Every structure is written in C-alpha cells, then in structure tokens.
Structure 1
Amino acid sequence: MDSILVKGGYVIPVDGKRRIIKDGYIYVSGGKIEALGKIDDSKVKEFEHSADEVIDASDCVITPGFIDTHVHLAQALLRSAVPDDIPLITWLRDWVWVMQGVYDHEDGRVSASLCVLEMLRTGTTCFLEAGFHSRYGFDGIAEVVKQSGIRGILSKKFMDLTGYAEEEQIIPQGMIEDGRACVREFKEMHRRWAGVEGRLDVWIGLRTPGAVSDELFLESAELAQEYNSGITMHLAEVKEDIEYFKSRGTTPSGFLEKRNLLGRKRVYAHCVWFNDEDIRIFAATGTGVAHCPSSNMKLGSGIAPVKEMLRAGVLVGLGCDGGPSNDAYDMIREMKTAALLQKIRHNDPRGFTAWDALEIATIGGARALGLENQIGSLEVGKKADIIIINFKTPSVKPVTNPLSLIIYSATGLDIRDVIIDGRVIVRDKKVLTLDEDRIYKEAEERKERILEKAGKTREHEKLFNNI
C-alpha cells in the first residue's frame, strides 16, 4: 500500500480527549495511521520525502470517516417514490414492501451502487446493512461493496413469519422468506464474503418481532456465536412495537434477554420507545443502538432517549436508514438532526453537543459494531479511514470553531477526499471506484421498472401529477 501524508488544516482525532489540532498532519503507511500531530513536528519533513503522496488539506478539516450503523442499501431506488406523509406500518405494507417485493438481482445491485456512491461521496467509510432479502441478490451487492472500496457489514435477512408487531399476515408474498433457507444462505454468504479484503463482514439481520419465530430467534443467537458474527434488527421503533411486547408481558430488552440476543456486536435500530430499564440492560450488556433521528421524525415515530442512553453508557451509533425514510445517506446532515432533536426534546441547548454528535457518528458507531480497536478515531495503529472536509466554501466561513461548523453548517457534499484502508477512494469530490453516470442512468431505468411491476405507476402518477 502507498504511504500518504495529509497535512494542513484542522485535525479532529475523536480520541476521547475532545481536542482539535490546528495546522495538523496525519501520516499513513501500510493502510494504517503511523503518526499524527502538529505540522511543525520535526518528523513532517521526513514524511514529506518518504510519502508516495502528499495531500494538502489547507482550508480543510480532517476527521475519522463516518460509520453508518443502520442502512438499507436496497431502498435507495425508492427515494421519492413513496408518499412522504404516512405512518410506518402503512408506509411498509402499502408501498415499500410492495415495491421491494418485485426486485430482482439487478435492482438490488443498482440500488446498492447508488447508495454506496452517495455514502462515499458524503464521507461514510463504514456501514451496517439492515438485512437483504434473497431476491436482492447478495453476491451482486457484495461485489459492489468490494469494488467500491467502502467498509461494509452485510446482513442476511432472517424471517419465518409474516407479521409486524400485532399485525398478522401483513408482509406481501414477494417479501416472505423461508426460515431454513435464510439460515442456509447466511452460512453460504458468510463463508463466501466474511473477511474479504479485510473490509467486508456478514451478520444476521432479523426482520422484526412478529416476523421471526422464537425458534429462529434462538437459532440466530447460536449461529452468531458459532460464526463470531453480529446481529441487527429494528426494535421499539413505533408505539405498536411496545404494544406487541406488552401483550406478551415483557419489554424490548426483556424480549431480547429471554432469546439470548443481548451483548456486544448486537445492534438494534431506533429504540425510540425505550424505558429506563431497557436503557439500563442495554448499558449493562454492551448492546448497541443505531439512532436514526431523520427517519424517526419523517415517519412520526418519536424521539429516542439518546441523551439518557449515553449518560447510562449505552453504545450508540448513528444511522441514516433508507432512501424513502430519510431521504439522504448523508451523515453530516444526520449529525445536525441528532443534535437539534435532543436539544428540543429536553428544552435545553446543552442537551446534546457537537462533540456528542461527532462521536456517535464515528467512535460510537465503531464501539456498537465491535470495531473500536480498528476504526472510529484517528489514532496511531488504527486503520486509515479518513475524510477531508472542504472549508473553502461560503457556508463554513469564517472559521472560528471548526467542529461547530461541521455539525451545524456543512453538508456531506462538502467532503473533498475520502481515504479507506489507506487508499484514496474519493478525490476532489469524485468517487474513483464507481461509474457515477452509469449508476444514475441505471437507477432511473430500474425505478421505472419497479413502479410498473409493483402496479404503482398509475397510483404514482396520480399522487404526483403536479410534477
């Protein structure tokens, strides 16, 4: 691997010291961070001569790459194709599942390509996928992730029932899977893709309570232990989820505890309707939460008690969720939303700081995924997952507090360069590993096919006839 010296600008290591290094540098060799500090360090001259590439980061801020802990790669094609103002269960039953239920492998590949393109372009260097249905084509999506250079955890969807919370028989035929087939495919995909290039992993993606039997829940826990894999699932996203748990005499955390689904490398998305006991148990067991504020706001699901979670020691990461629920895969926007939402929830401007926001988007996500010793901060010995944010733009001038400007003024489109595993993947805002124009063209074509095959073309035209 080439050696790279990034010098100039501000370096925000996110190393627990909450410090900002003005006129800083980072030296990368062998895919890892070898040194960092102030540019007046005597070693910098030596690095300038030995580096294969020197990147000038003047007028920029250098941070760890963002870690998105809840992503639906297959939903990128559904952006703007779903009505904006409907509640979650209707949104799923009448629209999202109907359209995803007609996907073929090409739809899955193109949607993943579009999603990964956007994530790279906006500074995400690692992500956790919520779970693939077999019809999306696991191999094709994994190949996109491999080719792109991003770090990705891909999850195989597990289900053997057709309900959601208290709603029975809600999942359409095209989205139903056989539990035994799910297990077989997970084993095969784990064998084929886990560990590829040191960037890919394969987890179990449980659909939701109501769609998974107790037997499959218990088998999932055993499989995760056997394969040293992780588990992810949507949990306590809407009030209907809590009614489901109450009807069974339990709580979200109690439900998971009984099925051996708590612990490290267990990441549950949303957790909006947690009580104090849920928070205590998650903290005590090292179980992770993927906070998805934009999605929760758009779908009217509620506001997760993230401040309380962090205070209790819960491992909280940040997630953008999906194309029709956010509707962007932009972690800088998500950080701003997370910060503002907690401030208003507590009627307290101190309720969530810019540091809190940056930490859950980086090292917090790494901890939730069990990767904190490898990524999530800029420290010597860690993998070189680095982003360079351009500050030569009107929205972030003048520069007094670069951290505040990242959270409250910048957007993901201000990302200039992205380095993953010590390799430049985005340079001067261009993704080097993917064909952008081809992806845009294919996305438009596949979107039309999906609408037609799902029987949504006329309904879509009626809803959006003013366009």
Structure 2
Amino acid sequence: MSSVLIYDATILTVDAENTVYECGWVAFLDGRITGTGPKATRPDTTPFDEVIALPGHLVMPGLINAHTHSAMVLFRGCSEGQSLLTMEGWYNSIREPELSLLASDIGPAVALSCAEMVLSGTTTFCDQYFFAEEIAEAAGKSGLRAVIAYGIVQLGDKDRGEDELAKAAAFIEKQRSADGRVIPWFGPHAPYVDNSEDLLRAEVDMAVKYGVGMHLHMAAGPEDNEQTLAQYGLTATQALSRDGFFAGRVHAAHCLDLSDEDIAIFAAAPAASVSYNATAGLRSGREGICPVVKLKAAGVTVALGTDNVAANNSYDMIAEMRVAGLVASHREGVAQPISSAELIRMATIEGAKALGLDHEIGSLEIGKAADIIAVDMRGPGYSETPDIETVLVYSGSGRDVTHVWVAGEDIVRDRMLQRADYQSIRSNYSATYQDFWARVERARQVA
C-alpha cells in the first residue's frame, strides 16, 4: 500500500481527550495511521506517495453502524403501519415475504446496502440475518469491515434450531480462516421469542467454544419478557444471565424495556453492550425508549445503529446521531443529556468497543487502522463555529461525505465508489428486487 498525507482539514481524532486539530493533518502508511497533529507539526510532503489537501473538510474516524440487516433493503418501504419491534408486525410485514428469498437475492441487496453505507461515511457494520455466507461474500467485495452474526430463528421447530446451529458453526469455522475484513459471530434473533431455552444454552456453549460474540435483539417488544416472567418471574435479561449468557461478548440491539436490574446485569458483565437504534424505535410506535443515560451512567458501552431500512429507511449514521440525541433529550426531559461529542463517540469508538475492535478502529491514533472519512463542511448548513461536533451532529448529513478509506484503501473518492460503479450496483439490485417481489406475489396467489 502507499503512504498518504491528508492536510489542511479539521481533524477530529476521537481519542481519549477528543482532540481536534484545526487545519491539521493525518498520515498513514500500509493501512496504519502513522501520525496526526496541528499545522505546525505537519511533516514534509516529499516522502508521501499521495498528498491530499482537504480545506473546509472535517476528517474523522469512519462511522460504525452497530446494528443492521443489510439484505433487508429489499423490504424498504414495506412496513408502513406495522411495528417491526413486535412479533405480529415483524411476522406480518417481513416474515411472510422472507419465505420467498433465495440465496441469489442476497448479494445484490447487500451490495446496494454497503454502497449506501460507505457513501454516507460508514466503514464498519454489524449485521444479523439469514444467508450469512452470501452477506459475507458481498461485504468482502465492498471493502467495508463487517461483523456478521449468523441469524438463527427457531420458531418452535427443534430440528430447525439444531440444523441452524450446525450451519452457524460451519460458517464461523469457514469465515475465521478467510483473509478479509469480515468477522463471524452467532446471531440468536431474539431470546425465548423465537429461540428456545435449550437452543440458547447451546448457542452460548458454541460461542464460548469459538471465542466469538453473540448479537441479538433484546427488550425490543412486549413479547420479549412475557414467557420468562410467566415461567420464572424473571425478565429475559435476568433469565439469560442465570443461564450464563453474559459470560462472553454480548451485543444487544434495541433494549427499550430494560429494568434497573437488567441494566445492572449489563454493567456487571465483562463484555456486554447495547446498540441504540433511535430512529427504528421511534418509527415502531413503541412507548419504550432505550434508557441510554442510565446505561452509560452504569458504565455500559452504548453504540448506535440504524436497524434495517424497512424500520428506518436510511443508513445515514450522521442522521442517526441527531435522532439519538433528540430522543434522549425527550426521554430524560433534559436538554442534551448526551453531548454531541459523546454521540460521535457512540458512532465511532464506542461502536468499536462494542464489537471488540477498539484496539483496531474507532479513533485516529497512531498504530490503528486507517479507517477514515472526510466530510465537506463548505455547503449550506455549515458555518464558522466553536463546536464542530455539534455542527456535524445537528446540521450535518451523510451526503456530505466525500472521501472514505478503510484500512488505508481508497473506497470512496470525491463521492464516487472506487471498487465498483454505483449505477451497476443499483441496476443489479433493481433486477433482483423486481424478481423477488414477483416471486412473493406468485407465492401469495398459490396460498
């Protein structure tokens, strides 16, 4: 790889001190950051293979989408009037057409999702869905980093659960040996709702065996706690803790209905985190709102995610930061209980920590991977400010991202994908979309 120097930009490092360099610089070599600093310390440009001046830009770590289902772009716009955070809403609007999915549908769908993510500044995403092999292949082609949790939905079928667990183990074994940016995990879709207690215990054992994390939905809908409260007098979180679920790395999406006792379990766990998906939560119509302020006060790592684009419709993580801040203010009845700087940390270094990657990504520091984005702040909505983080969060847009590097590789330059042509990706997706929904309609007519 080549050596690159980016200069004449505002550098937001997201290091422990949230250091910002006006008219600063960042350099990287062979995919690793070699230095950052203010203008006065900028190195001689001569040794670098490429020197890029970005006046009027904010340069910062790549954004981390801590919860999504990238193949579900096929369902964008299909959940109006349905709450996807209830079993009924999910089953009625998503599960029935999902039965017509083919493995060949997944690649074009994930390719489009990855293009939308990286063009709006996301460099790493955490995914949970079926067809993990196809998702991994498409993510690998995109150049993004991805934690892909093999989605397991049992729905009361014991044989199906055992078969899916075996396939998940095979996926992990295969993917761990691959040389790429994709990291395999387990993905029990939701505890007790569609994964039995026996299967959950087997998933925990398997995750411990392979040393991988588990990504699941938790406290997302009213059904989540019903079975465990009726059977044990415990919430699902408490029942999972009793069964050793929190001994390893657990990354839980939504968490709208956590009790104080549940929060204490997360706080006491060695590696438990939450993906706060504010837009999806609002759109679902649920009364519950993730208790982010309480979670953070207890020391729990909280990241940000979009959820699928049937629930959200957008992969724009800058927009997600804004909604996350607004929703927290509404829940707490306090102006900005989470600062703009902290929202950015949740979308970068805290997301990296949630995925066990904070040693590698999430901040612009020497030795870390060069996962870097540049945001053009010269257009409408931006102006001189003493607080660049607040302007980004509450005035910014992912559409202002101009450059993206992942592990030092130039993935987006001047708003253009470098690995593939966006229009070709969109054309392939459009053909897949038409074919998929025609198949769904034929299945409905037969039924």
TM-score by length of 1: 0.90
Aligned mates of 2:241, 2:30 — CA distance in 1: 41
Q: Quick check: 1:67 aligned with 2:68?
A: no
**Partners of 1:84 and 1:298 within 8 A in 2:** no
Structure 2 distance, partners of 1:447, 1:161, is 27
Aligned to 1:37: 37
1:168 matched residue in structure 2? none
Check conservation: 2:82, 2:93, Cα contact below 8 A.
Answer: no
- Aligned equivalent of 1:99: 97
1:142 to 119, 136, 158: 136
Deviations 1:15-54 (A, max 9, x none): 121232111111101211111111210x511xx1111111
1:402 corresponds to 2:388: yes
Displacement after TM superposition at 1:210 (Å): 2.1
CA contact (8 A) 1:264 1:288 kept: no
With over 3 angstroms needed to count, the CA separation of the structure-2 counterparts of 1:330 and 1:58, relative to structure 1, is same
- Does the 8 Å CA contact 1:68/1:318 hold for their aligned counterparts? yes
Going from structure 1 to structure 2, the CA distance change for 1:86 and 1:192 (only over 3 Å counts) comes to: closer
Tell me the equivalent position of 2:203.
220
Equivalent residue letter for 1:447: Y
Does the Cα contact within 8 Å between 2:4 and 2:28 map onto a contact in 1?
A: yes
| Paired letter, 1:194 | R
Deviation at 1:399, TM superposition (A): 4.3
Alignment of 1:298 with 2:291, yes or no, is no
Deviations along 1:161-212, whole A, 9 cap, x unmatched?
A: 349xxxxxxxxxxxx9812221222222222222634411110000112211
1:60-99 deviation per Cα after TM superposition (whole angstroms, max 9, x unaligned): 0011111111110111111113324546333311111112
Partners of 1:5 and 1:28 within 8 A in 2: yes
For the residues of structure 1 that align with 2:326 and 2:245, how far apart are their CA atoms? 32
Contact between 1:10 and 1:21, CA under 8 Å: does it hold in 2? yes
- Give the letter for the 2:414 counterpart: D
Specify the code of the residue in structure 2 equivalent to 1:178: R
Contact 2:326 2:336 (8 Å CA) reproduced: no
Give the CA deviation at 1:263: 4.4
In the alignment, which of 121, 128, 137 is matched to residue 123 of structure 1? 121
Give the counterpart letter for 1:438 in structure 2: S
Give 2:217's match in structure 1, choosing from 219, 234, 259: 234
Q: 1:264 to 1:424 in 2, by over 3 A?
A: farther
For residues 96 and 365 of structure 2, the distance between their equivalents in structure 1, rounded to whole angstroms, comes to: 45
Taking the TM superposition and a 5 Å limit, the aligned residue runs for 1:68-217 are: 68-86=65-83, 88-130=86-128, 132-133=129-130, 136=131, 138-162=132-156, 178-194=160-176, 196-208=178-190, 209-217=192-200
Q: Is 2:212–2:249's contact at 8 Å kept on the other side of the alignment?
A: yes
Shift of 1:394: 1.0
Q: State which of 398, 404, 407 in structure 2 corresponds to 1:418.
A: 404
Distance 1:250 1:288 in 2: 20
CA contact (8 A) 1:27 1:35 kept: yes
Equivalent residues of 2:154, 2:160 under 8 A apart: yes
Retained in 1: the 8 A contact 2:87–2:221?
Answer: no
CA distances 1:328-383 after superposition (whole Å, capped 9, x unpaired): 01110100000011111112113121012101101111111111111111111111
Checking the alignment, whether the CA contact within 8 Å between 2:228 and 2:236 is kept in structure 1 is yes
Give the 3 Å change call, closer, same or farther, for CA 263–61 of structure 1 in structure 2: farther
Q: How much identity, in percent, do the aligned residues show?
A: 28
- Cα deviation per residue 1:428-460 (whole Å; 9 max; x = unaligned)? 11111133112212222222233232239999x
Residue 9 of structure 1 aligns to a residue whose secondary structure is: strand
Deviation of 1:144 after TM superposition, in Å, equals 1.4
Aligned length: 440
Greater displacement, 428-437 / 187-196: 187-196
How many angstroms does 1:269 deviate by?
0.4
Long gaps (5+) in structure 2: none
Corresponding residue SS for 1:370: coil
Cα 1:394–1:231 change in 2 (3 A) is: same
